[in-house]
Structure 1
Amino acid sequence: MLKKIGLLSIVVLLFFSCRKEKRVRIFEMGYQNLEFEIPAGINGSQALIFEFPELKTNFQSFLDLHNADLSRIGGIYPLNARITSFDDSDYYYIQEVEIRVCSSEQNDCTAQLDGVFYIEDLNGRANRIIDLQPGLQNVKSLMSGEYFRLEVVLFLNFGQITPYNQLSHLNMTFEVTE
């Protein structure tokens, strides 16, 4: 009998602990056509970092556009991001991508703290579009301010050299939730 109660308790605990968090979306914040150029001939022994040191969040404009009240906002979370090649060239030489955001007052962002979008283990499969996975980080304190710093960090396949100049752009969206 005691065994059955213990087993039932474990099942109930697992059920309640595995429930998915339900966020109620108020609106989305989109940042489009952030352009950068990957130069030809770069050795893959170190990460390529493209910096946007001071981007406007336009948070107040988004609030006004959606008639939203700041007091209703509980979080701002990464939703989706995509890197696209302007000239339809493939990104086969890229192994991993991270998008980091941090305060515009910082000199650089930190991978463990500031990563909002990522993709790993591309292993030569990337074509002219790279769709990134959203992280779980709530960036409300950063994205509800006036400015933020953005870094696009590319890691190349081992032994790879960037084959050509590749003009690219990043589109990313955050969801604002209750």
Structure 2
Amino acid sequence: MGVTGLLTLLSMLLVSVKLVTCAPYKPVCDKTVLDMFIKEARELETAMDSCNIICQFPEDIMVPETKLNVGEWNKLQTSQQAAEVWNGLVLFTKAVPRITDFISDASLKFQVEKIHSDIRSVVHLFKSLNLQDEAQTSQTEGKTLPVRTFKKLFSVYTNFLRGKLRLLVMAVCREASLPT
């Protein structure tokens, strides 16, 4: 292929390629963004209602404890809250790849990959609020909870999003005077 052939091929490729415009990112403090993650987590949790023996893990998977006393939570400094949420996100980030090894069902594998993608997006949301720096300044160790089923894992994840993460994001957005 000569130079003219190469140029012809390149021009054909460039003409046939459509420019794709990405939708702008929603503001981090937009309540609907977090609501979307919560909705997807609830849907996965509900999907696990009919799951049988394939939905059990051969070992305990550690996830963050989600029980929350709002009064005590509000007394914590933002850095302590951020550290607890960050530790929880780290636990979920480690848990999902571990449970992937236990999955043989393609549909279940897809759901776990979806939750893994959502967790990475929540981590990105956390970082975009510049909370990671605050989380690292506080040495708070969060309590953990062992789980052995997908249903329980997704339930804990849903509660984590609805509780600690939501409260932290709302507080940070209020402090920064950003609309929630």
TM-score under structure 2 normalisation?
Answer: 0.27
Say which structure is richer in helix: 2
Say which structure is richer in strand: 1
TM-score under structure 1 normalisation?
Answer: 0.27
